[in-house]
């Protein structure tokens, strides 16, 4: 394949990796039928790109180059190891010769991979963790932060999930229509967590990762087309659109985070808000409430308010009450406490926060710090901000927390 005239800087190669890793792995899994082999081949292809592109320049189609190179590396390896048990060499070679793709209700490779990994034989947490690793290209550390567990424990969970798929010979095929609802909950969780990592990256200098946010919204739209009568699918898409609508106002020109209460609401994307609110109304008509629908409804209330002061916090508390009745989690309880602070005051909210077991979650310490600051308990607030700071690696969040500490000191 002919190369571009100019050399490819490291930043361009990193951009291609972030944008195309998940797609390349999804295609390779379909072609070779082996998760480990697909992941290794894609990583080898990017290693080759790092060696060649700085001198030769980006190829006309970087994604195509990566997929073709990875496929060739996988086929070469399977030819060498064809005698070893457990390899799917024949299937890989057939697909490599242009065998037609498997038919089924899901035609998007990345969405197919999500449904394939979300097999009921695996524990749900393992399903979600494995899919985030393969599709989102998230590191084990990033996934561990999303689950509020240690990195070694998460690494073991991912290895066990891969081993179970391999040992149980779980087929890499598109589930039938009847199997889709059974796998829906972890599929929705994957899309939501990919969006979350894109909306506020767990580490690094960039507060957002645009390619992950765009991919999550794209997958949400595909799911809504695939399952238009599933209210939680519609609720998830509404939630993503309503959160995404605030993106233009979330950061200051220098990249600093701007809290919801301080955002310039004239910069919110009204088209996304209108689409998200229409989906929320559609969910209400279906009459089968669920956690994603309730989160979308909460964000719809925020988007209705012309100013932060005009927010209907009592309605938001009622919606959180419904969510706690349907799917109670400590993180939902934390967000409910934030709303309670606006209706019943920071002291009532602080009692709720201090009853939660969320020591590993930096936002729990940040919320507690803010409540203590509002109560004038500055010394305790400083310690809480320091605890939050010690638990986040996102540089934009760290700058925000450090700013609050400077104000208190």
**Averaged pLDDT, 188-203:** 78
89 or 193: which leads in pLDDT: 193
**Averaged pLDDT, 352-373:** 96
* Burial of 381 (C-beta count, 10 Å sphere; 0-12/13-18/19+): buried
**Averaged pLDDT, 5-16:** 69
CATH class of 336-408: mainly alpha
Confidence at residue 7, expressed as pLDDT on a 0 to 100 scale: 57
Angle value at C-alpha 347, between 342 and 349, nearest 5 degrees: 55
Structure tokens at 38: 């697909």
Q: Are strands 393-394 and 203-204 parallel, antiparallel or unpaired?
A: parallel
In which band, very low, low, confident or very high, does the pLDDT at 200 lie, cut at 50, 70 and 90?
Answer: low
**Averaged pLDDT, 159-181:** 78
In which band, very low, low, confident or very high, does the pLDDT at 101 lie, cut at 50, 70 and 90?
Answer: very low
Q: Are the beta carbons of 165 and 122 closer than 8 angstroms?
A: yes
Structure tokens at 266: 């004239």
Annotated domain spans of the chain? 10-96, 110-170+177-326, 336-408
Confidence at residue 82, expressed as pLDDT on a 0 to 100 scale: 63
Q: What is the pLDDT of residues 26-39, one digit of tens each?
A: 888 888 878 888 88
Cα distance between residue 171 and residue 88, in whole Å: 11
Confidence at residue 344, expressed as pLDDT on a 0 to 100 scale: 98
Kindly report the average pLDDT of the chain as a whole number.
Answer: 85
- Residue 296 above 60 pLDDT? yes
Least confident of 85-99, 110-124, 236-250, 312-326: 85-99
296 or 201: which leads in pLDDT: 296
Residue 50 host element (H or E): helix 35-56
Confidence at residue 91, expressed as pLDDT on a 0 to 100 scale: 45
Phi/psi at 254 (5° precision): -85, 0
Cα distance between residue 348 and residue 40, in whole Å: 52
Residue 394 host element (H or E): strand 393-394
Q: Are the beta carbons of 239 and 296 closer than 8 angstroms?
A: yes
Residue 393 host element (H or E): strand 393-394
Structure tokens at 355: 């009853």
- Residue 205 above 70 pLDDT? no
Residue 383 host element (H or E): helix 378-389
Confidence at residue 323, expressed as pLDDT on a 0 to 100 scale: 97
- Residue 232 above 90 pLDDT? yes
Phi/psi at 204 (5° precision): 95, 175
Write down the pTM of the prediction. 0.81
Phi/psi at 300 (5° precision): -65, -35
Give the helix ranges, DSSP H, for 200-265.
Answer: 210-226, 231-244
Helix, strand, coil percentages (3-state) for the chain, rounded to 5, are 70, 0, 25
Distance set, CA 37 to CA 33, 75, 96, 243 (Å): 8, 10, 15, 36
Cα distance between residue 46 and residue 65, in whole Å: 10
């Amino acid at each position: 394949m002919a190369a571009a005239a100019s050399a490819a800087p490291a930043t361009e190669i990193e951009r291609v990796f972030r944008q195309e890793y998940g797609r390349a792995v999804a295609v390779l899994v379909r072609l070779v039928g082996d998760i480990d082999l697909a992941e290794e081949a894609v990583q080898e292809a990017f290693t080759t790109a790092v060696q060649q592109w700085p001198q030769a320049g980006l190829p006309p189609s970087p994604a195509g180059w990566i997929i073709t190179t990875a496929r060739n590396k996988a086929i070469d390896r399977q030819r060498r190891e064809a005698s070893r048990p457990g390899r799917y060499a024949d299937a890989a070679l057939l697909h490599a010769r242009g065998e037609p793709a498997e038919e089924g209700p899901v035609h998007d490779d990345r969405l197919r991979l999500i449904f394939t990994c979300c097999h009921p034989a695996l524990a749900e947490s393992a399903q979600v963790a494995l899919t985030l690793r393969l599709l989102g290209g998230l590191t084990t550390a990033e996934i561990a932060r999303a689950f509020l567990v240690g990195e070694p424990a998460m690494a073991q969970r991912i290895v066990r999930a891969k081993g179970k798929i391999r040992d149980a010979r779980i087929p890499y095929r598109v589930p039938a229509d009847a199997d889709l609802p059974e796998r829906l909950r972890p599929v929705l969780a994957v899309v939501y967590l990919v969006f979350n990592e894109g909306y506020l990256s767990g580490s690094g200098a960039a507060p957002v990762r645009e390619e992950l946010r765009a991919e999550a919204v794209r997958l949400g739209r595909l799911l809504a087309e695939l399952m238009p009568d599933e209210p939680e699918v519609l609720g998830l898409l509404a939630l993503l659109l309503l959160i995404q609508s605030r993106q233009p106002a979330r950061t200051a020109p220098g990249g600093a985070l701007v809290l919801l209460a301080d955002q310039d609401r004239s910069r919110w994307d009204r088209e996304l808000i209108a689409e998200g609110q229409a989906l929320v109304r559609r969910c209400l008509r279906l009459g089968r409430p669920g956690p994603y629908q309730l989160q979308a409804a909460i964000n719809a209330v925020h988007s209705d308010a012309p100013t932060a002061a005009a927010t209907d916090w009592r309605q938001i508390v009622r919606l959180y009450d419904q969510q706690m009745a349907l799917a109670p989690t400590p993180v939902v309880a934390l967000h409910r406490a934030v709303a309670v602070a606006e209706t019943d005051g920071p002291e009532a909210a602080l009692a709720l926060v201090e009853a939660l077991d969320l020591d590993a979650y930096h936002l729990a310490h940040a919320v507690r710090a803010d409540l203590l600051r509002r109560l004038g308990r500055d010394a305790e607030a400083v310690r809480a901000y320091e605890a939050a700071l010690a638990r986040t690696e996102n540089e934009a969040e760290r700058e925000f927390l450090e700013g609050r500490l400077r104000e208190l000191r």
